[in-house]
Amino acid sequence: MAPQVHVDSLPADLREAWYLSQGIKLDEAVDPATGEVRKLPEAVTQHDPKWDERVAVAQWRLNIIRQVAAQPKGSPARKAALDVLAGQIQVLPDGKRKVLSRSTLYNWIAAYDAGGLLGLMPETRKDAGQKKTIVTMVWDGFFSGRITPPDHQRIGDDVAHYIRRAASLRRADPAAKPL
């Protein structure tokens, strides 16, 4: 048997070529409310390394709200199904147990009604891949011309390292006192 590869793990050019060869247009989707074909934003069609994880979360959410979403919008049956669901303990994908809030369930149902399974997928961070620690403009303005650029960079890196270390220690022991 030939090795199998998930199409979303392919480089963008190969993935796009495969989709096009199957007649799938990556920049279009059917609007579930109207049935119209609409253009998707470019960001939706770009390669997403966490695609499978996001789809799994969306499927988990759909499994929870499936009974509610099957009822007609605005019907007493939909409200009753939501009332039952809101009081139940759910097992999260990570194994933890939680009672989901009514507003969370309403948001998921609205997202599903608006966008189907894609609507239930968690959003990707807009700053993914960017540095999370930034030395402020006040810092830059104050030290501009007072220290050399290499010293400025070194001090900024030291501060960023200190912040990361403090955050990792805090995650390891939430009861720990700040450094």
Residue 81 lies in a domain: yes
What proportion of the chain, given as a percentage, has pLDDT over 90? 8
Q: How many helices (H) and strands (E) does the chain have?
A: 6, 4
Residue 116 lies in a domain: yes
116 shares a domain with 66 = yes
What proportion of the chain, given as a percentage, has pLDDT over 70? 64
Q: pLDDT per residue over 105-115, tens digit each?
A: 999 999 888 88
Domain that holds residue 97: 50-123
Contacts of 107 (CB under 8 A, 6+ apart): none
Q: pLDDT per residue over 118-134, tens digit each?
A: 888 888 777 666 666 55
95 shares a domain with 41 = no
39 shares a domain with 61 = no
If you ran DSSP here, which 8-state letter would residue 43 be given? G
Q: Which residue has the higher pLDDT, 5 or 57?
A: 57
When mean pLDDT is compared across 35-39, 129-133, 161-165, the lowest value belongs to 129-133
Name the CA radius of gyration of the chain, rounded.
23
44, amino acid identity:
V
Average pLDDT over residues 6-16: 67
pLDDT-derived band at 76 (thresholds 50, 70, 90) equals very high
Residue 130 lies in a domain: no
Cα three-residue angle 119-121-122, rounded to 5 degrees: 120
SS3 91: strand
- Provide the pLDDT for residue 77: 92
Residue 115 lies in a domain: yes
How far apart, in whole angstroms, are the C-alpha atoms of residue 78 and residue 27? 33
Phi, psi of 8 (to 5 degrees): -75, -10
Question: How many structural domains are present in the chain?
Answer: 3
- Provide the pLDDT for residue 108: 92
How far apart, in whole angstroms, are the C-alpha atoms of residue 94 and residue 101? 18
* 89-91 and 97-99 strand pairing: antiparallel
